[in-house]
Chain A
Amino acid sequence: MLALQGDVREHVDILEKLGVEPVEVRDVEDLEGLAGLIVPGGESTTIGKILVESGLLDSVRSFFYKGGPVWGTCAGMVLAASATTSGRQPLLGLMNALVERNGFGRQVNSFEKDLEIEGFEEPFTGVFIRAPFFEDVGPGVEVIGKVGEKIVAAKGENILVTAFHPELTDDHRFHEYFLREVCKL
């Protein structure tokens, strides 16, 4: 768990229920030996700034490019993208995608919606909070969920992103999916 800012505890609680041992990553050394890394929801500008200052930006990138599995939720999805439509901010750039921050509007437009997700038999309730979406994705990125034409869930070789927050629900299927399909645990 990247534990610089955001809803870290919510992910940790679910991971513990699923029987894996969460580690809170605050420093470069914490990344060693991890089976996967979750970048939680939060403020992407704040997390991005702390990633740069702590030296974690480069370390997370090299963790990923050596095959380390990563899942970004909301702010984590913004940070995983290679570019934003709204200008400069530090990004991890793990996925060939153009992200629109706050793509559904301000907080009064935040919403819940049942989504069809590729590979899920039953719909999954997406909790969208000032959520982003991918406007466009490049080769190697598989779209697994949409709201209208907006891409809200996608997956690559060793990466998963969701614009919504499975960690705010009691439905653990996305956490299981990450552990099984991306971390190969």
Chain B
Amino acid sequence: MMDNGQSTGTFRVKSGMAQMLKGGVIMDVVNAEQARIAEEAGAVAVMALERVPADIRAQGGVARMSDPEMIGGIQEAVSIPVMAKARIGHFVEAQVLEALEVDYIDESEVLTPADEAHHIDKAVFEVPFVCGATNLGEALRRIGEGAAMIRSKGEAGTGNVVEAVRHMRAIVGGIRKLGVLDHEELMTEAKNLRAPYELVRWVAENGRLPVVLFTAGGIATPADAALMMQLGADGVFVGSGIFKSGDPVSRAAAIVKATTNFKDPKAVAEASRGLGEAMVGREMGDLSEGEKLAARGW
């Protein structure tokens, strides 16, 4: 939108917002008190949602966008950016979140999808979107739809980092592979990735995604966060890992510390000391196919 010589909602402003979050931790919170704890611990943003993924798993049912009242309460409580989730394909939830002036919308597989064939056309919104991806092709499809930030999907609410590792390796490895292909091979690779050719070419030439790449899904400890950073993440989303642990205040600060100093094992060791119990984890083999959230979306 152009007004008074000022253009809002440009892609540079949307993707730039995510660039400011790099090196930081974004924490899931379900009320104003948790949001304040997150801000105090050094979070760069909070994700406002009704139930953390571990509870969505435990309680079942349809998971939807959060109550605007709750989102408003969190916006009042903190000065850092507030993000919120919309269901995959539910563009009206996204319109509502934009009207509430949340700072970022996560079109998220953690909520129950509203459309099994289509994702939201994100380019038409002024508010930026982050989307999950399990591999490079999926990441580029979402960017093609207008996503201004990508995160690995991982397997949210399990406290098990294995899927986040798989997805980060797939995305980062896919980027490395593009770098050694010649021009003829790029079109074929775009076909194999089922991704827009122009974006495939951009990634091949620049050696990275055109937007910021965070990681999410199963991060529960400071060492998990540092692992994901060393695997190439620009920053970390932590969902259930903080507020489902024994001592959320200390764990939140510790994960921030480990993310800042991810290359320094001594600092990660120091951050890991005496945090009490981590959240109870789930083994992937124990999840039924229907319970796997990463398979939602395409």
Contact surface of A with B, Cβ cutoff 8 Å:
3-10, 26, 41-43, 45-46, 49-50, 53, 74-75, 86, 101-102, 105-114, 127-130, 165, 168
Categorize the interface residue count of chain B: 35 or more
Check B12–A127 contact: CB distance below 8 A: yes
In the assembled complex, B23 has its CB within 8 A of some CB on chain A:
yes
Inter-chain contacts of A5 with B (CB < 8 A): 22-24, 44, 260
Minimum CB–CB distance from A90 to chain B (whole Å) comes to 11
Inter-chain contacts of B179 with A (CB < 8 A): none
Check A108–B9 contact: CB distance below 8 A: yes
Inter-chain contacts of B103 with A (CB < 8 A): 106-108, 130
Measured in the bound complex, the distance between the Cα atoms of B256 and A5 in whole Å is: 10
Check A7–B22 contact: CB distance below 8 A: yes
Check A42–B12 contact: CB distance below 8 A: no
Q: Which 6 A-B pairs have the closest CB atoms?
A: A107-B103, A5-B23, A111-B6, A43-B44, A7-B19, A110-B13
Given contacts A107-B128, A127-B13, A130-B81, contact A42 B7 (CB under 8 A): no
Inter-chain contacts of B127 with A (CB < 8 A): 107-108
Binary flags per residue of B1-41, CB closer than 8 Å to A gives 1, else 0:
00001111110110011011111100000000000000100
In-complex Cβ contact of B19 among A4, A50, A168 (8 A): A168
Check A7–B20 contact: CB distance below 8 A: yes
Check A43–B8 contact: CB distance below 8 A: no
In-complex Cβ contact of A46 among B5, B43, B261 (8 A): B43
Given contacts A6-B22, A107-B103, contact A46 B6 (CB under 8 A): no
Which of the listed residues B9, B13, B126, B127 has the most CB atoms from chain A within 10 Å of its own CB?
B13
Minimum CB–CB distance from A84 to chain B (whole Å) comes to 9
